[in-house]
Amino acid sequence: MMNNKTGIYIHIPFCIKKCNYCDFFSVTQYELEDEYFQKLLMEIETRADYTKNIKTIYFGGGTPSSVRPEYIRKIVLKLKEKFNLSNLEEMSIEVNPGTCNNSNIQEYWDMGFNRLSIGVQTFNEDMLKKLGRIHNKSDIYKTIDIARQIGFTNISIDLMYGLPEDNLERLCSDLDLAMDLNLQHISTYGLIIEPETKFHEDFKLGLLKLPNEELLLEMREIINIKVADFDFSRYEIANYAKSGFESKHNLIYWNNNDYYGFGVNSTSKIENIRFMNEPDLNNYINSNEFDKHNLEELTDEMQIEEGVFLGLRLMDGIDLKDFFNRYNIDIKKKYKNAIDELLDIKAIILNDKVLKLTNYGIEISNYCMAKFLS
């Protein structure tokens, strides 16, 4: 199978506090910083493969901007030592406006980062408090101003909708403020009440008033209209970019290419093997080996299925010729029944070149994608 692009994900698990909606793996045990990064360096040393064609590097979390930049620098230097980065196209780092200043953003630039992903979520002060965020509105503007002055020209923000007691006025205000910032990329996420979060506990107690499905649909429609007016194109279900600023790292996932995950609880997929790292921080630090959890060998059938449902997340859809060249499968023949059913309900578009979701198909995307799973 043709698979010539590989990404690297580095998990930084430390957060000053857990947000009320967040179920990502994060900890507040900053006293373990030094031990964690020592083990992370060791893991990269052990698992690196200089022959891989690394296209993207992404530091996520947690909150990478909440740890001392010297730790980030050590990881970057180790990656440069152990991997061939001569064809690197994008190096991103997630930052929280509440943990950014001139010093650490300047250091990220000096290390070679060329993309910032800023966890804004909302510009609304009251909603930021409800979400449990540690930043305020002015922190957002300060972070973006500093980044621009230093030289960053590829800046992305995350925005959320469907929040407790949310309304169209709040969302429209956020979108207007975001558009005024002349950003390059925006990710939008509808709130999902995840287990083991504060919001989940509040929801069980009847303390959260959430928007109904009709309002959520209106919100998604408004997002699509507003961002299009400012030259953003929707290139993936939840992501919008100006031309040339699509997230290259996330495209590695959506195009079903290979990726290394380094750090606690991270996932790797290399060729036909996928596995997760140790999901417990103390075990990760103290283990003498880097055990592979949930290891699975991906059969050709699994790779094909994942190629379909990941590809359908993209607005360009699945290029039928590329799909055939990669998997030696005629998608129209293999999935004829699923395709016929989805065509009948006008959830997909199929022609000689491409298979993709319609606007209606996007709204029922989980249903559509499930049709291609055995």
CATH superfamily for 6-253 is Aldolase class I (3.20.20.70)
Kindly indicate the confidence band of residue 1, based on its pLDDT and cuts at 50, 70 and 90.
very low
Percent of the chain with pLDDT over 90: 96
3 pLDDT tier (thresholds 50, 70, 90): low
Contact 73, 111 (CB under 8 A): yes
The residue type found at 276 is: M
Q: Which residues 6+ apart lie within 8 Å of 233 measured at CB? A: 240, 241, 242, 243, 315
Q: Return residue ranges of the chain for CATH 3.20.20.70.
A: 6-253
**Cα(9)–Cα(228) distance, integer angstroms:** 30
pLDDT(2) > 50: no
The CA-atom distances, in angstroms, between 89 and each of 57, 85, 108, 246, 252 are 9, 9, 16, 12, 12
The predicted structure's pLDDT at residue 274: 97
**What is the band of 291 on the pLDDT scale with cuts at 50, 70, 90?**
confident
Over residues 111-130, mean pLDDT = 98
17-34 tens-digit pLDDT: 999 999 999 999 999 999
Mean pLDDT of the chain: 96
Q: What is the mean pLDDT of residues 308-336?
A: 96
- pLDDT by residue (tens digit) across 262-286? 999 999 999 999 999 999 999 999 9
Preceding omega of 62 cis (within 30 degrees of 0): yes
Q: How many CB atoms lie within 10 A of CB 27?
A: 15
Strand order in the sheet with 318-319: 318-319, 354-357, 348-350
Model pLDDT for residues 61-116, shown as the tens digit of each residue? 999 999 999 999 999 999 999 999 999 999 999 999 999 999 999 999 999 999 99
Q: What is the pLDDT of residues 158-203, one digit of tens each?
A: 999 999 999 999 999 999 999 999 999 999 999 999 999 999 999 9
CA distances from 189 to 219, 224, 301, 343 (A): 11, 13, 30, 27
Give the mean pLDDT of 242-255: 97
Which residues share a beta bridge with 115?
92
pLDDT for res 53: 87
